A and B are shown apart, each in its own frame.
Chain A
């Protein structure tokens, strides 16, 4: 994958002939490491309780909430039969506690409290899976904001 094929540059619309190409190239290591992070968070070898399809659905959901529709589509296409959860309006009987937590960490970060973690633990989510879920949502917070910022820099923001 070349620098300009990384998800962040691609979804921000930044191309090799862009005026910002040289600034982006000077931080190529960062965009390449960000891509490695996407791989580790979305498609890890050790998934814990969250398979690749569910991770993709949750990532799409968070991207949609952040207003990053192109990124949301990118992830939703890998969500298989979990794709319904990518719709922020959807809740789910089996995954309700997961969706509630994901939505709160993504969008009401400052209000997250100890009870949110103990609630997951009481619902049978292991500590390792709590950390995995936080990393997924937290990475998406980063990725959506870099894409939004680069789009603003290019003056193409709506």
Chain B
């Protein structure tokens, strides 16, 4: 039996689709081609098989996702993860928040920041730089987007370059997209071990 999670955690859960994923042995040639551009091509996840229902979108989104999160230059990978995490917390995508909090902790070799964020949310005790990054990403993720000039000045005052700010805009906005797939199309679940 699977239990649906409602609280933020760094311990990445399973993901249970709310629609029936594409069956790999029934996939069209176009779907098979798009499925290969995903990072895990040995075992395709239910999430990616779900997105394969809209294969044209999947085929363009996977390389775009990788470029925004991993291309060299600009903002550090850990800070891009912080932008992703802020959006995921606003949209309460428990699965996305877990993945990107755990990546942030791995990259920083430190769980302090994500512990603090999960415990205290927007009131977390952060450095001025992390505070500016988190607040900008958090407000951008609201609907309608609520970041304003004050938030942009805070980024510049914290020492972020144009290239870094651009990467933050992209990574937090990307999770406006990812959260609306992951959180809407399925549930974050944990297998209950028999009692």
Partner-B contacts on A (CB < 8 A)? 19-20, 23-24, 26-27, 29-30, 33-34, 36-37, 39-41, 44-46, 48, 65-67, 105-110, 112, 114, 116-118, 121, 127-128, 130-132, 134-135, 137-139, 141-146, 148-150, 152-153, 155, 157
Contacts and interface: CB of A to CB of B under 8 A. Distances in A.
Contacts, number: 168
Contacts of B167: 27
Interface in B128-155: 140-141, 143-145, 147-149, 151-152
B19 A146 contact: no
B60 A30 contact: no
Interface of B: 18-20, 50-51, 53-57, 59-61, 63-64, 67-68, 71, 73-74, 90-93, 140-141, 143-145, 147-149, 151-152, 162-163, 165-170, 172-174, 176-181, 183-185, 187
20 contacts: A20-B162, A20-B166, A26-B73, A29-B67, A30-B71, A34-B64, A37-B57, A40-B56, A45-B56, A46-B56, A66-B144, A105-B180, A112-B184, A117-B185, A128-B53, A130-B185, A135-B181, A138-B176, A153-B165, A157-B148
A77 to B, nearest CB: 22
A148 B143 contact: no
Which secondary structure characterizes the binding site on chain B? helix
Contact of A146 (B50, B59, B173, B178): B173
B147 A148 contact: yes
Nearest to A125: B19
Contacts of A114: 18, 187
